[in-house]
Structure 1
Amino acid sequence: MMENAGTSSVVNTHEKEKFQKWLCVVTEAFKVLSPEQQLTTFYTLLHQCSPNQRYNFSKQISGILCQDILISLPTELLEKVCHYIDAKSLVSACCVSKEWNGLISSLSEVWYRKCYQMGIGLMKQDAVNWKTLCLAALKQIEGLHTGSAFHHRDIRASCLSLEQITGLDYCDGFLIASADDQVGIWRTDDYELIGLFSVPKRISCLKVQDAKMLAFGHSSGHITTWNLDICKESCRASLCWEYYGHTGVIMSISLSTDIDLILTGATDFMAKVWCLSTGSLVKTLSCHSHWVIQVTLLPTLDCLNSRTLYKGKHSLLTKTRDHIRIFSWPKESKNGKIFGDMNEVEKSVIEIPLNPVHNFYTPGCYVQHGKVSYVKQSMVKDDEDGNAEIVCESLATRTRVCEVYLREKVRKLLAIGEKFALILLPHSRTNKYNLLVIDMSSGNAIGGCHLPHSSSTTPDLAQIVVGETGWLDGLEQLKPNDMVIALGMLNGQIRVVKWQDHRDRLTG
């Protein structure tokens, strides 16, 4: 028996070797045939197979004929291909198969770029799962698109007025509102009223800093500043200084405790700079030919920030309906004053003409990273699309570095960042969005919501305030329950819009 088994094994080996030699000869002969001859040979052999052989053959050949090109691509080439695919399609591709999901999910650089394009991860970090963050960003953008990312709440402010809420400001988790000569302060974590007091004159505008100092512009033309003592459950306000000098209604106000200044603009065509701690007038800027409807102080601090324009100089901005003006002055002073030397401030002015058409003016002007951003548009008929554009102009080169055409009629540029802008459109009786989030790279509106009408109390819309704005530089800075915007309305109402609470949505 053992001899027979050994003989059989030798015969099988010999037959295998013989078959392999024959197969090599046939293969070489097959290679030199023309394509038509190869096809004829293949069909002839296939017809000679039994049904069972044909079935086995069909299963094996599918892996050769239907080879997955994605799996066979080198990683470098796969990355290049995926860079051309949008994030939503890339996520869909991950659902094709387990192999595809593993390959595409491993491309960290691709997912980082997709996050960057959507305004996530502008500050690159290594210890982040960029695909997870990208999925969260897609959900957030979908929420912006549908409006579900926003939560609306009405605050009853009848303690101030039964009519229009005329002034609003926000700082460090507190919302301050005014109507006539009444002021109310709310916590924004639960919107409980913690402070209520009155001032001597009717308030036209207000500004708060660090939740410690509050400044009011009054319809009588004078200004008052108040020290705030805010704790979790209550707030007390005490009069600090009164400033007299304007002969028109105060339209806008800005203050900086860091450089001890307060800046005001009024309907007397004047902007005035005051010493915050003494109440004395420091400088009058009388070069304006119309109401000064927006003023902003831009101090240079020890730590440079996005609003620093010139190293070693403080700056300020004024805006009328026809010009934006930037003034600068040395931060060092011979007499040791903390706000610097303002003697020649008017000689260093930069003027940006707005060229309004038929007195058509769009409020909202912001300075950051050496650029001034504002909206330009002209009058159009009610049934026509708007022609507004967001303009970003470099103050160093005096050239436009960015122009975003919106095809909308814009009521105000509310805020702007490196990635997004927040704009307010005229109110519509339909449910059309009139609060829009604009992607500055594409100019497209990525989402928004519908807001009720809020009557203008000043040309710069003092009855509207924007909350936290860090998310405009990147959505990873968006925090649940942060205030987005608040509007003063009739009947003593304040509409507050905050971010919907979606826990861990952008944590990566």
Structure 2
Amino acid sequence: MDKAAFEGWLESVSASFLTLNDQQRNQSLDRLISLSGAVQLRHLSNGLETLLKRDFLRLLPLELAFYLLRWLDPQTLLTCCLVCKQWNKVISACTEVWQGVCRDLGWKIDESIQDATHWKSVYLKAKLRMKQLKDAEAFETSSLIGHSSRVYALYYKDGLLCTGSDDLSAKLWDVRTGQCIYGIQTHTCATVKFDEQKLVTGSFDNTIACWEWSTGARIQHFRGHTGAVFSVDYNDDLDTLVSGSADFTVKVWSLSTGACLNTLTGHTEWVTKVLLQKSQVESMMHSPGDYILLSADKYEIKVWPIGREINCKSLKTLCVSENRSVCLQPRLQFDGRHIVCSSDLGIYLWDFASFEIIRVIKTQDPASLSLLSLGEIFALLFDQNYLYVMDLRTERILGSWPLPAYRKSKRGSSFLAGVTSWLNGLDGENDSGLVFATSMPDHSIHLVMWKEYG
């Protein structure tokens, strides 16, 4: 209805309005107001229709459209892809948008790949994996059976798991197939570490031994501790082996000769963990490339410089509480830049350059929740009943997985994390293989593995 027609209609209505009585006039007035309002709104709508139907994604410069799209959540983006071909084309071409939503889910981003279609596909895969974690569908379990007595020691590397048992044997397993590759006769193993040629074992008989996988022969024997040996580490380039013991000492050995080079004292509890690693940072006490030894007991972590010299003094002693009222858990992590250890108060992160605490991650029940491994994006935690994946950016638990009634050793050697590269960011390939292993009361080893994408 144009303006002239509307005015003619209004005049005829007014003439008839004068012939009505009061009641009829009031009723007609109400109806007139309603009709005229509707007509005016319809007239206004016709004028705005063209403006309302404009496609901003088509009209805006591409850079500005990409900027606006980055404010949308992933699910809305996927819905917008269904609006029309043009929208799907624009949204699917926005590389930064899809890289961003993948990054938000904890995915590694390779900036050299600028194919938006690739990152959209990665997002859909990442979304599925996150949903599987939330719904407890990301993992599956299996068991390794072969030992005839308690399994005290576990060590994982490159798809292979070494187990040391009370049955005086050590076995090397392929975790994917469940097959035992090697089995050799040893002493009672409290701790193990291996490479392609050799196995090093620390024992409850107070000694350390080095074995050859291919023949089962003992290559070297290390004697000197007066208590059980709970942890060992070694470096072939340094020809050095280090050990922590229930006799409160740390010993430094020549790996090739078996000679004890030094005995480090100062601990007042069992030394349950030793780590030998290169420093990656500079400080007044050490330089990049220097070899560093970390040793931990129930209350303290000691930092030692290690080289070819005989004498060695502690650089630093780290602790959570000065009055020794807070216990450290037997999980120690060191990458040359940061020292990580969990305690009854939470997970503590020290800067190795300054030895200052730079982060404390509080959990709901830190006394029972233990750290398995901590990365840049995720952390793997566990308690007596569940395995947990935490997003370190939000400190929120992303998912959990039920665990059987396993043996939780106070020394922390009867359970471990498997592949840990995914903790620094998932990439669709590193979420495979072993996640967690622990020894069971029936002498088997319980494995938690990544499940393939379904």
Give the TM bin, normalised by the shorter chain.
0.7 to 0.9
* Equivalent-residue separation in structure 2 for 1:267 and 1:69 (angstroms): 71
* Equivalent-residue separation in structure 1 for 2:318 and 2:372 (angstroms): 20
Cα 1:97/1:45, change in 2 over 3 Å? farther
Question: Which of 229, 233, 240 is the equivalent residue of 1:250?
Answer: 229
Task: Give TM-score, length-normalised by structure 1.
Answer: 0.74
Q: Do structure 1's residue 145 and structure 2's residue 134 form an aligned pair?
A: yes
Aligned to 2:16: none
* Equivalent-residue separation in structure 2 for 1:238 and 1:415 (angstroms): 33
Question: Which of 437, 441, 448 is the equivalent residue of 2:389?
Answer: 437
Aligned to 1:31: none
For 1:362, what is the secondary structure of its paired residue? strand
Aligned to 2:250: 271
Q: Do structure 1's residue 219 and structure 2's residue 198 form an aligned pair?
A: no
Point out the more displaced range, 147-156 or 368-377.
Answer: 368-377
* Equivalent-residue separation in structure 1 for 2:220 and 2:4 (angstroms): 100
How far apart are residue 396 of structure 1 and its match? 1.2
Cα 1:59/1:472, change in 2 over 3 Å? same
Alignment of 1:309-458 (within 5 A): 310-329=287-306, 331=307, 340-343=308-311, 345-347=312-314, 349-355=315-321, 358=325, 360-368=327-335, 370-378=337-345, 388=346, 390-409=347-366, 410-425=368-383, 427-428=384-385, 434-457=386-409
* Equivalent-residue separation in structure 2 for 1:149 and 1:42 (angstroms): 71
Aligned to 1:471: 422
Aligned to 1:135: 124
* Equivalent-residue separation in structure 2 for 1:130 and 1:84 (angstroms): 17
**Which residue identity lines up with residue 357 of structure 2 in the other structure?**
R
Alignment of 1:29-68 (within 5 A): 41=3, 44=6, 62-68=49-55
**Which residue identity lines up with residue 313 of structure 2 in the other structure?**
E
* Equivalent-residue separation in structure 2 for 1:46 and 1:240 (angstroms): 112
Cα 1:368/1:123, change in 2 over 3 Å? farther
Cα 1:405/1:91, change in 2 over 3 Å? farther
Equivalent pair of 2:206/2:226 in contact (CA under 8 Å)? yes
Cα 1:74/1:342, change in 2 over 3 Å? farther
For 1:100, what is the secondary structure of its paired residue? helix
Aligned to 1:15: none
For 1:144, what is the secondary structure of its paired residue? helix
How far apart are residue 89 of structure 1 and its match? 4.1
Equivalent pair of 1:147/1:448 in contact (CA under 8 Å)? yes
* Equivalent-residue separation in structure 1 for 2:217 and 2:5 (angstroms): 99
Cα 1:480/1:443, change in 2 over 3 Å? closer
Equivalent pair of 2:390/2:398 in contact (CA under 8 Å)? yes
How far apart are residue 190 of structure 1 and its match? 0.8
- Superposed CA RMSD in Å reads 3.1
Aligned to 1:167: 153
How far apart are residue 420 of structure 1 and its match? 1.2
Task: Give TM-score, length-normalised by structure 2.
Answer: 0.82
* Equivalent-residue separation in structure 2 for 1:182 and 1:318 (angstroms): 27
| Structure possessing the higher relative contact order (Cα contacts under 8 Å, 6 or more residues apart) | 1
**Which residue identity lines up with residue 370 of structure 2 in the other structure?**
K
* Equivalent-residue separation in structure 2 for 1:42 and 1:73 (angstroms): 39
For 1:175, what is the secondary structure of its paired residue? strand
* Equivalent-residue separation in structure 2 for 1:277 and 1:406 (angstroms): 44
**Which residue identity lines up with residue 396 of structure 1 in the other structure?**
A
**Which residue identity lines up with residue 476 of structure 1 in the other structure?**
D
Equivalent pair of 2:188/2:203 in contact (CA under 8 Å)? yes
**Which residue identity lines up with residue 167 of structure 1 in the other structure?**
A
**Residues 75-127 of structure 1 deviation map (CA, whole Å, 9 limit, x = unaligned):** 33433333344434433443444443222222111221222232223443225
Alignment of 1:83-232 (within 5 A): 83-126=70-113, 128=115, 129-157=118-146, 160-161=147-148, 163-180=149-166, 181-199=168-186, 201-208=187-194, 210-229=195-214
Cα 1:47/1:284, change in 2 over 3 Å? farther
* Equivalent-residue separation in structure 2 for 1:44 and 1:93 (angstroms): 41
* Equivalent-residue separation in structure 2 for 1:115 and 1:437 (angstroms): 18
Aligned to 2:26: none
* Equivalent-residue separation in structure 2 for 1:152 and 1:167 (angstroms): 20
* Equivalent-residue separation in structure 2 for 1:365 and 1:324 (angstroms): 9
Cα 1:359/1:408, change in 2 over 3 Å? closer
Equivalent pair of 1:172/1:211 in contact (CA under 8 Å)? no
* Equivalent-residue separation in structure 2 for 1:154 and 1:111 (angstroms): 39
Cα 1:360/1:311, change in 2 over 3 Å? closer
**Which residue identity lines up with residue 355 of structure 2 in the other structure?**
R
* Equivalent-residue separation in structure 1 for 2:276 and 2:3 (angstroms): 87
How far apart are residue 74 of structure 1 and its match? 3.9
* Equivalent-residue separation in structure 2 for 1:42 and 1:289 (angstroms): 102
Cα 1:92/1:446, change in 2 over 3 Å? farther
Q: Do structure 1's residue 285 and structure 2's residue 264 form an aligned pair?
A: yes
* Equivalent-residue separation in structure 2 for 1:396 and 1:421 (angstroms): 23
* Equivalent-residue separation in structure 1 for 2:339 and 2:81 (angstroms): 42
* Equivalent-residue separation in structure 1 for 2:4 and 2:449 (angstroms): 70
